[in-house]
Amino acid sequence: MPLIVQKYGGTSVGNPERITNVAKRLLETQRAGNSVIAVVSAMSGVTDALIKLAREVSSKPTEREMDVLLSTGEQTAMALTAMAIQSMGGKAVSLTGAQAGIVTNGVHTKAKISNVTPDQIKKHLGEGAIVIVAGFQGETSEGDITTLGRGGSDLTAIALASAVDADACQIFTDVDGVYTCDPRVVPTARKIDTISYDEMLEMASSGSKVMQSRSVEFAKKFGVTFEVRSSFNNNPGTIVKEESAGMEQVAVRGVSVERNQAKVTVAQVPDKPGCAARLFTALADAHVMIDVIVQNVSASGTTDISFTMNRDELEKIGDLLDRVAKEIGAGGVSKQDGIAKLSVVGIGMRTHSGVAAKLFEALAKGGINIQMISTSEIKIAVIIEEEKIAEAAKLTHTAFGLDAA
Ligand code: ASP
Ligand code: MG
């Protein structure tokens, strides 16, 4: 009998009615002749509410207790889902991460899975039950509850699919799959049928986040093919899998946009070893996440260094950079928000030439100025004015022939 792992995210189990809908879908899947394992997230908003609650009793809750607390969100959802199935006359049993055999290291709040022993799952499946597993959690070999980082239910599903060697792994969410661009930005965006792990990872790191990146990395490492699809309809979704030769024929698979960025420039940095190190060590110590970095060609012994980051992190910098700039003998520091990043992603870029030229031409057509450029093997990203991002995305989407027919 085929074995299917289905994961339902927080919105899909967001209220009793939706849980009932998920229960129905699970029963239908089982009645179609499959063994079914379901992984559920906490009902939408619950994890955030628990975090808020913790802060109300303690300014610095320990990570161990945070894990104990947060794991309850998924446990609520799993029990309710099992009850809903039972009330429809089906057979279901819910299991915590620990009961499902998910063993992790001891890094609380972002634990790594070290192994999965799905004995209990197999036993219940053998007895004809639908097995509902709490996502996002595991336990250490000492028996402490751990969680796998925000969005970690995706990882639970992929890891289980790998451990039980499932015939299919379906990630049900509130969107129809992965799109060529955010349809709210580019209305002509299309659902992508098949995407490679690397493209999926690049799209996620460029702002099109559908799944937890760690789970995609895990799937890549263990060769787990999975599908991202909607829990609100029966449309086929996007298959995420190892790349194949045919996938390289398309130069650009998708366009990602990331708003809410800021650009910081440190002017006239002395052009000598150690200056960039001092600058970025200070930022790292302040836990500021840096994205694109550009250093200009040196002129008369100094150079300008610019970088981008999330605008919300700007306040973390405060006057830190002014101090470091002074220490290393640089000129001024300027900060600018209202910046956005547009990226084109595709493994076909490795074999197609002219991708950058085509992107820049599309932007030129709209009179859009490029402030910074960054590239990887399968991505070209540009930093532009935030106000122009929607227009830029539309022009780029059209230029690469991605518009729906
Ligand atoms: N409930 C957890 C979160 O909100 C895990 C998940 O939804 O995947 O991050
Ligand atoms: Mg999620």
Q: Does 152 sit in the ligand 1 pocket, CB within 6 Å?
A: yes
Q: Which amino acid is at 221?
A: K
Share of the chain above pLDDT 90, in %: 93
C-beta of 170 in contact with ligand 1 (< 6 A): no
Q: Which residues surround ligand 2, an ion (CB under 5 A)?
A: 9, 151
The domain of 81 spans 3-174
CB 141 within 8 A of CB 101: no
pLDDT confidence bin for 316, thresholds 50/70/90: confident
Is 46 within a domain?
yes
Give domain status of residue 369, yes or no: no
Integer Cα distance of 329 and 352 in angstroms: 44
Taking CA atoms only, the protein residue closest to ligand 1 atom 8 is 151
Average pLDDT, the chain: 96
Position 34 in a domain: yes
Within-domain flag for 198:
no
Closest ligand relative to 47 C-alpha: 1
Is 192 inside a domain boundary? no
Decide whether any atom of ligand 1 lies within 6 Å of the 12 Cβ. no
What is the Cα 389 distance to its own chain's centre?
21
> What pLDDT shows up at residue 297?
85
Which pLDDT does position 300 carry in this prediction? 85
103-149: per-residue pLDDT in tens?
A: 999 999 999 999 999 999 999 999 999 999 999 999 999 999 999 99
Quick one: three-class SS letters along 147-204? ECCCCCHHHHHHHHHHHCCCCEEEEEECCCCCECCCCCCCCCCCECCEEEHHHHHHHH
- Ligand 1 center to 235 CA (angstroms): 24
Atom of ligand 1 nearest to the CA of 73: 1
- Assess if residue 253 is contained within a domain: no
Spatial CA neighbour of 210 closest among 250, 172, 159, 158 = 172
pLDDT tens-digit map of 83-106: 999 999 999 999 999 999 999 999
CATH of the domain at 12: 3.40.1160.10
Place of tokens 């440190």: 266
Q: What would the mean pLDDT of 175-204 be, rounded to a whole number?
A: 94
298 pLDDT above the threshold of 90 = no
Q: Is 132 a member of any domain?
A: yes
State the pLDDT at residue 294.
94
Closest to 298 measured CA to CA, from 278, 271, 279: 271
CB-based contact 112:122 (threshold 8 Å): no
pTM for the model? 0.90
pLDDT at 321: 93
CA distances in angstroms from 168 to 157, 163, 173, 350, listed in the order given: 11, 12, 16, 30
Distance (Å, rounded) from C-alpha 99 to C-alpha 121? 8
pLDDT tens across 375-389, in order? Answer: 999 999 999 999 999
Indicate if ligand 1 lies below 6 Å from the C-beta of 343: no
Residue 355 has pLDDT above 80, yes or no: yes
pLDDT of residue 60: 93
Residue 14 Cβ < 6 Å to ligand 1 = no
Half-sphere exposure of 299 (CA within 13 A, CB side): 5
Indicate the number of domains in the chain. 1
Q: What is the pLDDT of residues 201-210, one digit of tens each?
A: 999 877 777 8
Q: Rounded CA gap, 267 and 332, in Å?
A: 5
| Domain annotation covers residue 129 | yes
Q: Ligand 1 in contact with 97 (CB < 6 A)?
A: no
73 Cβ below 6 A of ligand 1: yes
Closest atom of ligand 1 relative to the 136 alpha carbon: 5
pLDDT at 240: 97
Work out the average pLDDT over 288-297: 92
Judged against a pLDDT cut of 80, whether residue 13 lies above it is answered with yes
